[in-house]
Structure 1
Amino acid sequence: MQIDPDVLDVLRAATVDGPALRLNGQLERNLYERVNLALHTVGGVWHRYKKAHIFTIDAADAIAGLLATGEVITDVDRGFYPTPEPTVERILDLAELETGCEVLEPSAGRGAIAEAVAARGAIVDCVELDTARAEHIRAGGYARQVTNADFFSVPVQRRYQRVIMNPPFAGRQDIRHVERALRFIQPGGLLVAIMYGSLTYRGDHRTNDFLAQIWEARGTLWELPADAFPAVGVATVIAVIPVRDVAPPRGMRQITLRPEDFTAQSRAVQQDLFLTDEPTAHGTAPLDGLGYGAPHDGRDHSSRKIDPNTQE
């Protein structure tokens, strides 16, 4: 969205002091609202007592892009949809968090989910591509670690009991992000992700394969209300995917069985002992072990009576 020339003039005349930006002179209401909107899109928040817009990074760096391009790039333009509080509560209820549980949130935005996770007693690490949003999370102090990077460039560490996420939706990115996030979860852990609602009716191979993964993991899909993201108006679902594969025991090497290992027709010992047509080398008569036939001792036991006192 193009910035009006009069708004750019106000921004160029502003005074910058570290994270604080102060507007010079009195502005008429309509002009001030447009200036405030431009500053808000790059992380500026009006502070009443300091009488300045405060950023989590140096204010000059924050507005440099606005002045250089003359454009405002909104969160929606970037594919960023902040998670409303009611939706945050829904996904945390499904995540079954426990105190001390280690949680990863990729694409953490401004920390709406991460802050709520920490409030429930869990330990949360965040990954966020946008520098200003990553700094906003750091300033909040609720995340143990904040990595300012593309999630796909972060080395996989299978250390978390939970991954809770609201990934980008455009271009099937939600599936790509969830599939990668599953690699960060320990066996017995759980992934809870907000995903694009079209996941339930798309018919392409990528979507079908992903739905098959959910089914095989005994995962579930939950339909969110139509107003879950009121500012955007897109249909959404919550995917809950358990990670059930077994962790390898320490000091042991797994033996990989091959198809050729199952081609030989083995002869069980029982075949010789019980299911033979002729007496065996062990002295067993045909079908003796199953209670058929006569004991192979050369004597006729067909009408013999046993004295219960002597067992003879």
Structure 2
Amino acid sequence: MTAHAKAIQDHLAACRLNDNKIFLPDYQIPASDFPQVKRAIEGIGGTWTTREQAYVFTASPDALYQRICRGEAINLERSYRKKTQFFWTGRPVLDVIEQYIFIPRDARMLEPSAGRGAIASYFRDLYPNYSWQLDCCELDQENRQHLEEQGFNLVGSDFLEMPRPERGYHVIIANPPFSKGQDVRHFNRMYQMLAPGGRMAVIMSTGWRTSADPEAKDLRDWLDYFFHEIIDLPRGSFKEAGTNIDTCLVILDKPLDEAY
């Protein structure tokens, strides 16, 4: 162990744990060491609160605190994002999507795999006076609770298992999970739920465009029969959400004469 790493452990050990709060040491942590101490405490879920002059947690972090004091690196947020594939859609990407979307006053819109509803919130704010149907589907329980608190209508959990509604959606906008070809499978399922004449706008990884995977190849071949557009999003569009994967926006319209 380096002298610097040992110093960080000593600073963490000098903190005081009281119920769901971690108080910093009574002495001032050197400026060169503080960023790593801060990162370690925030990594186990702490949020600095000026009023408390402490890092506050939703529950006692005792076990996690002992682990970082022993030098273990923990990043709960990154682990959560990796597990759930939750990489939220930022405003610059939403502004791009909006250029391709027209929403009638009586539209039925769906955000599958909605996360915390970044897409749904954006369009609800754009059309606050619309009496339209805005549905969300989300698997993660914590995110589902957040969506309900925001007043969104939850119509399913696992989108790939969600039953088709009696009537299709006029608009489907999504940022689905990408790993292991999930974006391709979600894309196909979205099309099944799209009403004739409807439009879907789906953020996808760029990998399906060159992948030898049979599902990706089938999608490329199938898209050739339809009007569609592929817009490459700027590199780093999801950096703030925790990933640098290259992404694109796929726009697809369902023909009016295609049965639902």
TM-score, scaled relative to structure 2: 0.71
Greater C-alpha radius of gyration? 1
Give the deviation of 1:240 after TM superposition: 0.8
Q: Distance in 2 between matches of 1:113 and 1:237?
A: 16
Aligned residue in 1 for 2:92: 86
Q: Distance in 2 between matches of 1:64 and 1:185?
A: 48
Aligned residue in 1 for 2:114: 108
SS of aligned partner of 2:80: coil
Question: Of the candidates 183, 204, 213, which is equivalent to residue 174 of structure 1?
Answer: 183
Equivalent pairs counted in the alignment come to 228
Aligned residue in 2 for 1:243: 254
| 8 Å CA contact 1:214, 1:220 repeated in 2 | no
Residues 198 and 205 (structure 1), Cα distance of their counterparts in 2 relative to 1, 3 Å cut: same
Question: Of the candidates 223, 235, 238, which is equivalent to residue 229 of structure 1?
Answer: 238
Aligned residue in 1 for 2:147: 137
Give the deviation of 1:49 after TM superposition: 6.2
Residues 118 and 66 (structure 1), Cα distance of their counterparts in 2 relative to 1, 3 Å cut: farther
Residues 124 and 47 (structure 1), Cα distance of their counterparts in 2 relative to 1, 3 Å cut: farther
SS of aligned partner of 2:215: helix
Aligned residue in 1 for 2:124: 118
Q: Distance in 2 between matches of 1:54 and 1:176?
A: 40
The unaligned stretches of length 5 or more in structure 2 are: 1-8
Q: Distance in 2 between matches of 1:232 and 1:124?
A: 28
Q: Identity, % of aligned pairs?
A: 23
Aligned residue in 2 for 1:211: 220
Give the deviation of 1:12 after TM superposition: 7.8
Residues 208 and 119 (structure 1), Cα distance of their counterparts in 2 relative to 1, 3 Å cut: same
Q: Distance in 1 between matches of 2:55 and 2:137?
A: 26
Written as runs of structure 1 = structure 2, the 5 A alignment for 1:1-312 is: 13-15=18-20, 23=21, 25-26=23-24, 30-39=36-45, 59-60=58-59, 72=76, 73-121=79-127, 123-141=133-151, 143=152, 145-147=153-155, 149-157=157-165, 158-230=167-239, 231-244=242-255, 246=257
Q: Distance in 1 between matches of 2:231 and 2:139?
A: 28
The unaligned stretches of length 5 or more in structure 1 are: 16-22, 250-312
Listed one character per residue, the Cα deviations across residues 19-64 of structure 1 (whole Å, up to 9, x for unaligned) are xxxx154456554542223216xxxx66666889899xxx45x979
Q: Distance in 1 between matches of 2:245 and 2:155?
A: 28
